[in-house]
Structure 1
Amino acid sequence: MDLSGSGLLLVGPGRAGSALARSWTAAGGILLAVVGRTRARAEEAGRRLGAKEAVAIEEVSGLRGDVLALAVPDDRIPEVAEALASRVSAPFAYHLSGALAAQELAPLRGACGAIGSLHPLQVFTGAASETWRGVLVAVEGDAAAVARG
């Protein structure tokens, strides 16, 4: 997939999120921002992944991108979606939970055109070279998000 110039906003730079960011940039996309629980964690991940910006979640304001990806623990998805609803903008928003439906992102409907979930059929180990290349991914959500996913 060619993502030339397409901007990703990554919330949660853990194993799955970092692997997604590496795949995104390898396909020509731009990692616009990494959002972490703390500024220090976001900045460390931002340097490692080549992000244009790195902020703590409580500092997010006016972030815009092509895709918003929430790579946070399952039990935090609704809370994080609610917290970001008035502070981000992207045509598409996805979470990376393998167990929850896209509906968990409902608070983002006003800020994002379509919501979906990406369910990678793989466990990510956190290896520095790990990507989503070759990983089977189930996509669920709004028709536009599924088509884009």
Structure 2
Amino acid sequence: MVVLAACGGGTGQTGAESTGSATPDQGAAPTASPTASPTAMTGPAPTDSSTYLPRPEPELTLPATRLGTLERVSGVVGAGVEHNCRLLTPDRGGNALLLLVENPRVVPGTRVTVEGYRQEGVATTCQQGVPFTVLKVSDISPATPTN
């Protein structure tokens, strides 16, 4: 949304062509009265200098990358080389998945089934694994040791 506002008498003249001799720092009164005064505002008290300006509506942004295909993957969670990086080694084989999830139960040494999507080409600080945004975690259990 774009809002434009202007002050003046509506003569079509710019400030340099105006016949008035007052400059903005001389405190000249506007030639047209405003439709609402600042004292007529309702709501909380002003907290910053932009109170009397319209607030822009936030713009909708699209994800940087398109969401991938929804997948369900089971495997064992392991620790990455960096702190708080969790890698899922899929039971079916393939590349390790870097789990992007905020779940305190998904820790190294657990077997999990996760649903989510891959985010190829996304930079992370974990340095390993394909980033995998987790939408749902299920079937959390301790991993069974392999002999």
What is the TM-score normalised by the length of structure 1? 0.22
For CA contacts below 8 A with separation 6 or more, give which structure has more relative contact order: 1
Higher helix share: 1
Please identify the structure whose Cα radius of gyration is greater. Answer: 2
Q: TM-score, normalised by structure 2?
A: 0.22
